[in-house]
Amino acid sequence: MTAPRTVAIDARKAPEDCATMVDVRQGVDALDRALVTLLAERQRYMDAAARIKPNRDAVFDQARIDDVVAKVLKAAEPAGLSPDIAEPVWRLLIDRCIAHEFGTWDKTRV
């Protein structure tokens, strides 16, 4: 079994210590690189789901979507992430992941 990759985030100033837009952009770019790594791992879980799910009808699961969004919103608050950002971002992420999973499911069953 392969262990999940540890995500390193490049050195950056804390947001409250940024004095220039260069500082801000360096921080955002560092976080974006880490997010890409995390999203790639999440996508691999969607590939695993497509491999495991017994039929195509199991790919879309509204109850699971609602559960994921609720968990994200619960985690967002103490992290200081606005629900106005968290909810639409995760709903779009879930939508795109479901589309990816459908494609993967179809490719592996043809």
- Residues 31/88, Cβ–Cβ less than 8 Å: no
Domain that holds residue 86: 21-108
Residue 25 has pLDDT above 80, yes or no: yes
Annotated ligand binding at 101? The verdict is yes
* Residue 80 belongs to some domain of the structure: yes
pLDDT per residue as tens digits for the range 1-21: 777 778 999 999 999 999 999
pLDDT per residue as tens digits for the range 35-85: 999 999 999 999 999 999 999 999 999 999 999 999 999 999 999 999 999
* Residue 76 belongs to some domain of the structure: yes
What are the percentages of helix, strand and coil residues in the chain, rounded to 5?
75, 0, 25
Q: What is the CATH number of the domain that holds 55?
A: 1.20.59.10
* Residue 7 belongs to some domain of the structure: no
Segment 81-99 shows an average pLDDT of: 98
User: Domain count of the chain?
Assistant: 1
Annotated ligand binding at 42? The verdict is yes
* Residue 95 belongs to some domain of the structure: yes
* Residue 87 belongs to some domain of the structure: yes
pTM of the model: 0.90
SS3 10: coil
Spatial separation of the C-alpha atoms in residues 93 and 53, rounded to whole Å: 20
DSSP, residue by residue, 78-109: HHT--HHHHHHHHHHHHHHHHHHHHHHHHHHH
**pLDDT at residue number 77:** 97
Q: Residue 109: pLDDT band by 50, 70, 90 thresholds?
A: confident
* Residue 44 belongs to some domain of the structure: yes
* Residue 8 belongs to some domain of the structure: no
* Residue 57 belongs to some domain of the structure: yes
